Structure 1
Amino acid sequence: MVDFKHSVVYQIWPRSFKDSNNDGIGDIQGIISKLDYLKNLGITCIWLSPIYASPNDDYGYDISDYYAINPEYGTMDDFDELLLECKNRNIDILMDLVANHTSTEHKWFKDALNNPSSPYRDFYYFKEGVNHREPNNWLSFFGGSSWTKESDNSYYLTSFAPTQADLNWENEKVREEIYNVMKFYLNKGIRGFRMDVINCIDKKPGLPDKNPNKKGYQFPDDYILNGPKVHTYLKEMNEKVMSKYDDVITLAEGCMVTLQDAMNYTNPDNKEIDMCFHFDLSTLGYGSLGKYDFRKFYRFNASDIKSITRKWQNAMMEHHGYIANFLSNHDNMRHIERYGDIKLYYLESAKAFALYNFMLYGTPFIYQGEEIGMTNLKLDYHEWKDYEAINSVQAMHDMLHVPLPIAKKIGQYVTRDNARTPVQWSSEDYAGFSTTTPWIKLNPNYTVINAEDCIKDPQSIYNFYKKLIELRKNNEALCTGTFKELNKDHKSILCFKRSLGEDEY
């Protein structure tokens, strides 16, 4: 029996993990070639970021066909082989379920766009403009309007990129289609899903303006996040899909999730999902403009980290919720620099935060390369691949009149590309990732930071992670025990106790 509370999950962002056919792009066969590495590390589960067919405007989070594999990554036969090889090593797979939106290249959307009487029109949000402007003043997550123009006065909702059209979950047929996708992959043998921005699937009825008395676009926050029907839909998903399979694991990416909603989503009595990410640590130091806020730029201290830890650990434990703990992922800069000091305390920073992540109440997640201490790479503007960063920099310049050089400097610091550089496997050419130039610039420090060297060094970050995983596997108190903070008022030391019966850490 699989128990998510005893799992250790490793996130693979396929494009940058391992290239097997030497085209500079990571692929499924590359993942297969590194499964023994992951098994040796001790992980029990892989979270596989999207490998579906996609035009790659948002690198897989814009799906054009849920039932096809992106040819850059391989074929469905390759995926079936990956499932088999993982099963042989007792490693489970969580797939990314991207169900808030599809690519505008998806056949549903194409039919909706080309045929005014198409039944797929109601799969999305099409709406007439108001006074020769967008239907409302919503600001997208990636900057600019949340609406993309279809014709002279008709628009469709795109809460992220203009090529990511929001699905209308009010439509029962939309939900049925998503449930069919889930069943297709569960029948293949995957363990479950990490659900991308799943708390965005309930939009405020009527799609009204947000803060209509303010000028300019307004971020719609509670108009599109954690609406009451998210719980309704998740309960239905559980009833129609999850409950039909044994030992399924479900994880929500709770975009800007509130503590109360996270507890409700994950309380087993509610029969919605197993665990939820939160982003209070990721957004630490953000201002009203989010990570691009140049007025309040990443100011925080140890007390802030303690406060966030206390808030989530205590509440989720006491109210029977459950959390997925992470420090880095494909959407955020690597935490070793975000919270640590790589100039003076490189090893100490990596090991301290690894210890923190693995000792908390909840399931620990590792982002590829984290276990060998990979660092961010500050890419020049012309080297960026990240649509969010490119568009947000332009929006800062156009809407807020931030000088373009300053906007680019801010974007350079926060672009998601920082953490998407290829995994550094060795000190060989191209870091052992490929035998040709990778799709995105390689961090030149691969000659001193790489998996091959880390494995050989008993004091390395890799071997510290390996020991932590083994420690957690062999001590139930670290998996299901209680959390109690000690020395709460200390300004800089985070100290806590995990207990189960007579076992204490």
Structure 2
Amino acid sequence: MGNFKHRIVYQIWPRSFKDSNGDGIGDLQGIIGKLDYIKSLGVDTIWLSPIYATGNKDYGYDIDDYYKINPEFGSMEDFDELLHKSKKLGMGIVMDLVANHTSDQHSWFQEALKSKDSPYRNYYIFKQGKRNKKGELLPPNNWLSAFGGSAWQKDPNSDEFYLTLFTPNQCDLNWKNEKVREGIYEIMRFWLDKGILGFRMDVINTIAKKDGLPPAGKGKKLDFPFEHIVSLPKSHEYVKEMHEKVLSQYEDVFTVGEGMVTSLEDLNAYTRPEEKKLQMMFQFDVHLIGCGPLGKFDFRKGYRWTPKELKDLIIHWQTGVEKGGGWLGNFLSNHDQPRQVSRFGHDGAFRRKSAKSLALLNFTLRGTPFLYQGEEIGMTNCHLDEEDWRDFEAINDYRVLQEMMHLPKPLARKVIQKMTRDHARTPMQWSEEKNAGFTTGTPWIKVNPNYSYINVDKEIKRENSILAFYKKLIEIRKNAEALNIGSFIPVDTENKKVLSYLRQEGEETYLTVINLSGSLAEANLMDVSAYNFKPVLCTYDALPFMPSMKLQPYEGRLYKV
């Protein structure tokens, strides 16, 4: 079961990866055509964002049928071919398991709507509405959805409402119902029997809801019910049951949970091996740096943060998870986050340098590294006007920012443009051909105009490229036990710009030194000066180790004893 700590995961957002048939939408045959490229990176695991039948209200996370492939992406035969060819190249496929909710078009929900007496009614969370003094029917409580607005939708055939914590088309499942749980387990068995490696589990720590569904916060205005849905004891019980009934019945199933605003303690409780739940989990504190308490569109902190704040967050999670016996899935970007070089680095003059230093960071931390498509060539955020937005979250929160937060339209637009998930979903930039070589048709979303100089073809030909740096870094990690399973020991912790740490396992020791800022910095490494460090990989020149080290903007260095 220790194998998961050595894996290197490449995440694909299929809709934007590669289009094989000219309809402007990425597909499974497009992925198949790029398997040799993915393998060339050195990765051994591919995580596919949802490819199931869907109405695309949340681009695959609203699932109509878990047993069918989205026809935009291809067929089950295409998937079987992808699975077979990936395995032949030594790469496993990880599917996205969306178990908190189905779409409102799923057969279970369609049956639930037919009657209050339907056996499927209890598959979801229906609750009687309440009337105000005017006799108007209102939602059962003040729960705010994650994407803005009430988390309740009115049942058209009764005075009841049903819970939708994300988009209005994503209906929360009632995990108290044993038949729901068994239905999810059957879905998992179907895909595992096909031969997939495992699952990334979407918002898995929110599957339980507090009994009685009490009001959130002070109970008056709409408020997100963190305290009533996040990592409740029952969620832990359900995941443990999932492990017992499904995961433990197969050999070495890869599992990673998406932990919505999870705490350090809960992440460890989900991922400690003796708990028999999940192998690893994502945390999002790093990605919410500079955001207000309501999440990434909460602009009240002005998205301001310092390198020291980022450094302290990283150290907190690295040391806390190691001490607590858990395991992290490390990532700096994915399909839900802005591009990492734009978020944590510099997408202008220091794009190449900061892209490399962020890669060095992600691949030398304790935990399993996840690489999102396009990061290996330093893709950036794209300027997206209102008409370019495709994501429900962006479109809906633009309205919510104006109505609930009373933000003027130009400022609301700026907030969305800064943090929208659409940044991560612009097409993969393969070449300088039309549409970045992604499609011969009309792309479903805007292509970043910088594809003319940021693309795979150019990176392959370029000397000292970001792509070459990733390949070398992945090769180093694969052959270094200290980087796979070693301890994390922070160094020079009070430094305001530089993050330094040791990774140690047995006789093997690595030192990572990264200037997280866009200005000159100096690292004080006297505490580790007794080691005979030699440079292994550097983002600038390969300079010898010095107890006092001057660093260029976004400079990163990896040393080994």
Q: Which residue matches 2:141?
A: 136
Q: Any idea what the Cα deviations from partners look like across 1:369-420, whole Å, max 9, x if unmatched?
A: 0000111112111111110111111112122222223212211111110110
* 2:14 maps to amino acid: P
Structure 1 partner of 2:189: 183
> 2:310 aligns to what?
305
Q: How does 1:63-142 map to 2 (within 5 A)?
A: 63-131=63-131, 132-142=137-147
- Whole-angstrom distance in 2 between the partners of 1:358 and 1:85: 26
C-alpha separation between the residues in 2 aligned to 1:148 and 1:222? Answer: 21
Query: Which residue pairs with 1:471 in the alignment?
Result: 476
The residue that corresponds to 2:167 in the other structure is 161
Q: Which residue of structure 2 lines up, in the alignment, with residue 377 of structure 1? A: 382
Aligned to 2:328: 323
Equivalent residue in structure 2 for 1:484, among 481, 489, 502: 489
Superposed, 1:199-210 pairs within 5 Å as 199-210=205-216
- AA matched with 2:207: I
The code of the aligned residue for 1:67 comes to Y
Deviation (angstroms), 1:216: 1.4
Report how far residue 181 of structure 1 moved: 0.3
Question: Structure 2 CA distance, aligned partners of 1:268 and 1:144?
Answer: 39
Residue pairs, 1:5-404, within 5 angstroms: 5-131=5-131, 132-151=137-156, 153-213=159-219, 215-404=220-409
State the percentage of identical aligned residues.
56
The gaps in structure 2 that reach 5 residues or longer are 132-136, 511-561
2:539 maps to none
- Cα distance in 1 for residues equivalent to 2:404 and 2:482: 51
Q: Can you list the C-alpha shifts for 1:156-178, whole angstroms capped at 9, x where unaligned?
A: 00000000000000000000000
How far apart are residue 474 of structure 1 and its match? 0.9
Query: Does the 8 Å contact 2:101/2:171 carry over to 1?
Result: yes
Root-mean-square deviation (Å): 1.1
Larger radius of gyration: 2
- How many angstroms apart in 2 are the aligned matches of 1:409 and 1:41? 35
Deviates more, 1:440-449 or 1:404-413: 404-413
SS at match of 1:341: coil
More displaced 10-residue stretch of structure 1: 280-289 or 166-175 = 280-289
> Following TM superposition, by how much is the alpha carbon of 1:277 offset from its aligned partner in structure 2, in angstroms?
0.3
> Aligned to 1:64, what secondary structure does the other structure show?
strand
Letter in 2 for 1:458: E
How big is each residue's C-alpha offset from its partner over 1:476-503, in whole Å with a ceiling of 9 and x where there is no partner?
1110111100001111110000011111
CA offset digits 1:355-380 (Å, max 9, x no partner): 00000000000000000011111211
Using CA pairs under 8 Å that are at least 6 residues apart, name the structure with larger relative contact order, 1 or 2: 1
Deviation of 1:2 after TM superposition, in Å, equals 7.6
For 2:472 and 2:293, locate their aligned partners in 1 and report how far apart those are by CA, in whole Å: 40
**1:414 matched residue in structure 2:** 419
Q: Which has the higher strand share?
A: 2
Q: For residue 187 of structure 2, what is the amino acid of its counterpart?
A: V
* Residue identity matched to 2:17: F
Q: Say if 1:182 and 1:68 are closer, same or farther in 2 by CA, change over 3 A.
A: same
Code of the residue aligned with 1:424 in structure 2: it is Q
**How far apart, CA to CA, are the structure 2 residues paired with 1:38 and 1:343?**
27
Distance (Å, rounded) in 1 between the aligned partners of 2:159 and 2:302: 39
Task: Kindly tell me the number of residue pairs found equivalent between the two proteins.
Answer: 504
Secondary structure of the corresponding residue to residue 494 of structure 1: strand
TM-score (norm 2): 0.89
**Per-residue displacement from partner, 1:224-272 (whole Å, max 9, x unpaired)?**
1100011101110001001110111110000111000000000001000
Contact 2:291 2:299 in 1 (8 A): no
Please report how far the alpha carbon of residue 190 of structure 1 lies from its aligned counterpart in structure 2 after TM superposition: 0.3
Q: Aligned-pair distance for 1:204?
A: 0.6
1:329-356 deviations in Å (ceiling 9; x for gaps): 0001001011112223111110011000
Pick which of 460-469 and 301-310 moved more. 301-310
Aligned residue in 1 for 2:523: none
SS in 2 for 1:282: helix
Q: Which amino acid aligns with 2:251?
A: D
Q: Which residue, out of 459, 468, 476, partners 1:454?
A: 459
Aligned mates of 2:299, 2:197 — CA distance in 1: 41
In 2, Cα distance between equivalents of 1:121 and 1:451: 50
Task: Specify the code of the residue in structure 2 equivalent to 1:9.
Answer: V
**Partners of 1:294 and 1:310 in 2: CA distance:** 25
Deviation at 1:429, TM superposition (A): 1.1
In the alignment, the residues of structure 2 paired with residue 115 and residue 69 of structure 1 have an alpha-carbon distance, to the nearest angstrom, of 29
SS of 1:295 mapped into structure 2: helix
In the alignment, is the contact (CA less than 8 A) between 2:291 and 2:300 conserved in 1?
no
Contact 2:265–2:324 (Cα < 8 Å) also in 1: no
Deviations, residues 410-468 of structure 1 (Å, cap 9, x unaligned): 11111110110000001111111111121001011111000011112231111100000
TM-score, scaled to structure 1: 0.98
Amino acid at match of 1:56: N
Structure 1 gaps of 5+ residues are none
CA distance in 2, matches of 1:33, 1:410: 37
| Secondary structure at the counterpart of residue 301 of structure 2 | coil
Inter-partner Cα distance in structure 2 for 1:342 and 1:408: 21
